[in-house]
Chains A and B, each alone.
Chain A
Amino acid sequence: MIDREQVLHVARLARLRLTDEEVERMAGELSAILGHVERIGELDLEGVEPTSHVVEVANALRPDEPRPSLPREVALANAPDTDGEGFLVPSPQA
């Protein structure tokens, strides 16, 4: 189960603002979902290796050779704000 405080804590970690109404609603919805998910706690998984990836590919390496990348103006083209050389962001101090 997950309460208001936990929802707010997780939302802060995720950099996600929530309105009071959303916090209330999410606490209920997330509790229902986690209640279902917690059924994996019933299983005996002692010694079972975790699977993070189903394909057996280990250390897929490629030669570390320079190759053309996006031109700067193309990389910046979709940004909300730039100075022509980089992405502009608001001050963390504001």
Chain B
Amino acid sequence: MIELTAKQLADAIGRGDVSAAEAFDAYRERAAADDLNAYLWVAEERPAVDGGPLNGVPLAVKDLFCTEGVPSQSGSRILEGYRPPYTATAVRRLAEAGAPLLGKTNQDEFAMGSSNENSGFGPVRNPWDRERVPGGSSGGSAAAVAAGSAPWALGTDTGGSIRQPAALCGIVGLKPTYGTVSRYGMIAFASSLDQAGPLTRDVTDAALLYAHMVGRDECDSTSLQHPEPIALPTAERLDGLRIGVPRDALASEGVEPGVLAAFEATLARAEELGAQIVDVSLPHADHALSAYYVIAPAEASSNLARFDGVRYGLRRDADEGLIAMYTHTRHDGFGDEVKRRILIGTYALSSGYYDAYYGRAQQVRTKIADDFRTAFRSCDLVATPTSPTVAFRLGERVDDPLAMYLGDLFTIPFSLAGLPAISIPCGLSEGLPVGFQLGGPAFSENRILDAAYALEQAIGFEPLEVGG
């Protein structure tokens, strides 16, 4: 049963080959036995489920989604033991569609990181090589799906936090168009960028999970109705599809040769399937990373002001007065990366620096969105490697925050422009998975999923053996 994709499992339950209770128990057992530190909490018993189109296929959920009565800590010691009084809309919708909560997955603290090493609850190991990181920030979700301790998982992506761990763990990750999934109940990192999406074993599962979480929500005034119903992908050919490749961006940065080779081989497959590969230019992509590392920390410094030891979570030194309580609580509760981003964000928003940093970064964001608008006049989708490198070793980049940030090079431009993008596994380099990123205009998920599906069939990527 474990070797089935989520869609196959839902079908098997629908046919009566296996019961939803058996499926839940099998995954519960595997999640409880997880030795990658992918889970921070595992359900003790099966939640009551009343049918639904997903037939009871259990779902692993990133820690930062609020789940009523269940620990929701966003990977942070400052929220240790926090049990929210309500459930995030995306999780509630999926539960109602028949995907009950299996467990909460480890992540970088407040989703800030690309390796899962910033979790307050310890790093996650990559099931392909336990001495390597699974990527981040949705590292626990990616590792759980890759290792077969979850059929599928929910993650969030602010600058690449679904796509990059999916790439490093050899699975599929979709970051949808900004606003198409409600942010209600997601513990906020950078509100203008945060987006929930699926991490799955294949493209069909990504489409199926996304189809049941999408839609406007009264509780999130930035949420939108998707203009199209999300369909399961069926494309076998890519005839007539124009895939744009930003050659300048690929050439100018430190992309590993093995990653580039797998990427080029996938482009060749796309051509064999009938696609046309065209050069496109994203002249401001080079500055996207800089703009992102102003905008995201600025929003984070504001969002994280709420962690002050008053309403929930950690409290330190209440006998030393209010200000000492605030400052000591935040010192002890936040990890190094969160402190760095709070400081950068506060600096960028502070008097005298606002125009030079935050104001300019927002203008760069406009230029990046314009770059994509121009590119999509000459192509339908844009392709890049998801990550310039394969999974790196635990500890390799912890002392160099900037080197860690540079790994988000290819994912961030889509985030800043609010555009949808998927990562699919496209091959191995040094025995480790390489991700192929395919992004498109706003609301082009159906086209992206179809193209990714056709490529997936042609690539025939061999996932980790998870049977048994």
Contact = CB atoms under 8 A, between A and B. Distances in A.
Nearest to B348: A37
Interface string A31-58: 0111011111101010011111111010
Contacts of B326: 15
Contact of B322 (A26, A45, A89): A89
Interface residues of B, number: 69
Contacts of B367: 43, 45, 48
Nearest to B339: A16
B330 A16 contact: yes
Given A16-B339, A34-B344, A50-B359, A40 B291 contact: yes
Contacts, number: 179
Given A16-B330, A43-B364, A74-B85, A90 B418 contact: no
A36 B416 CA distance: 18
Interface in B350-374: 350, 356-357, 359-367, 369
B85 to A, nearest CB: 5
Q: Determine chain B's interface SS by DSSP, over half rule.
A: helix
Given A50-B362, A78-B83, A81-B315, A37 B323 contact: no
Give the contact-size bracket for chain A.
Answer: 35 or more
Contact of B418 (A16, A38, A39, A54): A54
Interface string B385-408: 000000000000000011001000
A40 B402 CA distance: 16
Interface stretch (B110-118, B146-154, B196-204, B304-312): B304-312
Interface stretch (B14-22, B217-225, B269-277, B421-429): B217-225
A14 B343 contact: yes
Interface string B301-329: 10001001111111100111111111110
A60 B294 contact: no
Given A43-B287, A81-B318, A14 B342 contact: yes
A14 B16 CA distance: 56
Interface in A1-32: 2, 6-7, 10-11, 13-19, 22, 26, 29-30, 32
Interface of A: 2, 6-7, 10-11, 13-19, 22, 26, 29-30, 32-34, 36-41, 43, 45, 48-55, 57, 60, 62, 70, 74-75, 77-81, 87, 89-94
17 contacts: A10-B350, A14-B346, A15-B327, A18-B339, A30-B343, A30-B344, A30-B347, A37-B290, A50-B359, A52-B192, A54-B178, A54-B192, A57-B222, A80-B313, A80-B314, A90-B322, A92-B323
Given A45-B363, A54-B365, 16 more contacts: A6-B347, A10-B347, A11-B343, A13-B346, A30-B344, A32-B401, A36-B402, A40-B364, A51-B369, A57-B221, A57-B222, A75-B85, A77-B85, A80-B315, A80-B318, A94-B319
